[in-house]
Structure 1
Amino acid sequence: MNAADLGLPVDVPSTALFTDQYELTMLRAALTAGTADRRSVFEVFTRRLPEGRRYGVLAGVGRVLDAVENFRFDPAVLEFLRERSIVDEPTLEWLSRYRFSGDVWGYPEGEVYFPGSPVLRVEGSFAECVLLETVILSILNHDSAIAAAASRMSAVAGGRGLIEMGARRTHELAAVAASRAAYVGGFDSTSDLAAGFRYGIPTVGTSAHAFTLLHDSERDAFRAQVETLGRGTTLLVDTYDVAEAVRTAVEVAGPELGAVRIDSGDLLLVAHRVRAQLDELGARDTRIVVTSDLDEYAIASLAAAPVDAYGVGTQLVTGSGHPTCSMVYKLVARAASADPKAPLVPVAKKSLGGKASVGGRKWAARRTGADGVAEAEVVGTGPVPADLADRQLLVELVKGGQVVGREPLEAARARHIAARAGLPMSAVQLSRGEPVLPTEYA
Structure 2
Amino acid sequence: MPTPGPACPAPALFTDRYELTMVAAALADGTADRDCVFEVFARRLPHGRRYGILAGTGRLLEELPHFCFGDDELTALREQGITDQRLLDWLADFRFGGDIDGYAEGDLYFPGSPVLTVRASFAEGVLLETLALSVLNHDSAIASAAARMIAAACERPCIEMGSRRTHEEAAVAAARAARLVGFASSSNLEAGRRYGVPTTGTSAHAFTLLHDDERSAFQAQVDTLGPGTTLLVDTYDVDQGIRTAVEVAGPGLGGIRLDSGDLPTLATHARELLDSLGATRTRIVVTSDLDEYAISGLMAAPVDRYGVGTSLVTGSGAPTVGMVYKLVERDGVPVAKKSKDKVSVGGRKHAVRRHDADGMALAEVVSSRPITARDGDRDLVVPLVRGGEVCSPRTPAEALEEARLHHERARAALPAEAWALSRGEPALETVDA
| 1:36 matched residue in structure 2 | 32
- Listed one character per residue, the Cα deviations across residues 91-131 of structure 1 (whole Å, up to 9, x for unaligned) are 10010000000100000110000000000000111110100
**1:58 maps to amino acid:** L
- Listed one character per residue, the Cα deviations across residues 327-376 of structure 1 (whole Å, up to 9, x for unaligned) are 000000010xxxxxxxx000000011x20100001111000112211010
Q: Report percent identity of matched pairs.
A: 65
Does 2:107 correspond to 1:111? yes
Q: CA contact under 8 A between 1:397 and 1:406: conserved in structure 2?
A: no
**1:417 maps to amino acid:** E
Correspondences of 1:24-423 after superposition (within 5 Å): 24-335=20-331, 344-352=332-340, 354-387=341-374, 391-407=378-394, 408=398, 409-423=400-414
Question: 1:426 is matched with which residue: 417, 420, 428?
Answer: 417
- Whole-angstrom distance in 1 between the partners of 2:376 and 2:181: 27
Aligned residue for 1:410, secondary structure, equals helix
- Whole-angstrom distance in 2 between the partners of 1:432 and 1:167: 28
- Listed one character per residue, the Cα deviations across residues 7-55 of structure 1 (whole Å, up to 9, x for unaligned) are xxxx995210110000000000111110100110000000000001000
**1:368 maps to amino acid:** H
**2:245 maps to amino acid:** A
Q: CA contact under 8 A between 2:159 and 2:307: conserved in structure 1?
A: yes
**1:62 maps to amino acid:** G
- Whole-angstrom distance in 1 between the partners of 2:23 and 2:419: 43
After TM superposition, the structure 1 stretch with the greater mean CA deviation from structure 2, 260-269 or 418-427, is 418-427
Q: CA contact under 8 A between 1:290 and 1:307: conserved in structure 2?
A: yes
| 1:8 matched residue in structure 2 | none
Judged with a 3 Å threshold, the aligned counterparts in structure 2 of structure 1 residues 40 and 360 are, in CA distance, closer, same or farther, namely same
- Whole-angstrom distance in 2 between the partners of 1:414 and 1:155: 16
| 1:340 matched residue in structure 2 | none
- Listed one character per residue, the Cα deviations across residues 176-221 of structure 1 (whole Å, up to 9, x for unaligned) are 1111111112211100111111111000000000101111111111
- Offset of residue 232 of structure 1: 0.4
Aligned residue for 2:12, secondary structure, equals coil
- Offset of residue 388 of structure 1: 6.5
Q: CA contact under 8 A between 1:28 and 1:87: conserved in structure 2?
A: no
**1:165 maps to amino acid:** M
- Whole-angstrom distance in 1 between the partners of 2:391 and 2:294: 41
**2:383 maps to amino acid:** E
Judged with a 3 Å threshold, the aligned counterparts in structure 2 of structure 1 residues 411 and 424 are, in CA distance, closer, same or farther, namely same
- Offset of residue 85 of structure 1: 2.6
- Whole-angstrom distance in 2 between the partners of 1:396 and 1:288: 45
Q: CA contact under 8 A between 1:179 and 1:190: conserved in structure 2?
A: yes
- Offset of residue 390 of structure 1: 5.3
- Offset of residue 87 of structure 1: 4.4
- Whole-angstrom distance in 1 between the partners of 2:393 and 2:281: 40
- Whole-angstrom distance in 2 between the partners of 1:104 and 1:366: 20
Unmatched tracts of structure 2, length 5 or more: 1-6
Matched length? 423
Aligned residue for 1:16, secondary structure, equals helix
- Whole-angstrom distance in 1 between the partners of 2:83 and 2:118: 24
- Offset of residue 391 of structure 1: 1.2
Judged with a 3 Å threshold, the aligned counterparts in structure 2 of structure 1 residues 100 and 159 are, in CA distance, closer, same or farther, namely same
Q: CA contact under 8 A between 1:365 and 1:388: conserved in structure 2?
A: no
Aligned residue for 2:77, secondary structure, equals helix
Q: CA contact under 8 A between 1:24 and 1:87: conserved in structure 2?
A: no
**1:259 maps to amino acid:** G
- Whole-angstrom distance in 2 between the partners of 1:66 and 1:131: 16
| 1:3 matched residue in structure 2 | none
Unmatched tracts of structure 1, length 5 or more: 1-10, 336-343
- Listed one character per residue, the Cα deviations across residues 263-307 of structure 1 (whole Å, up to 9, x for unaligned) are 001110000111111111111111000000000000001111111
- Offset of residue 417 of structure 1: 2.1
**1:232 maps to amino acid:** G
Aligned residue for 2:324, secondary structure, equals strand
Normalising by structure 1, we get a TM-score of 0.94
**2:312 maps to amino acid:** L
- Whole-angstrom distance in 1 between the partners of 2:177 and 2:261: 29
- Whole-angstrom distance in 2 between the partners of 1:416 and 1:301: 25
- Offset of residue 72 of structure 1: 0.2
Aligned residue for 1:178, secondary structure, equals helix
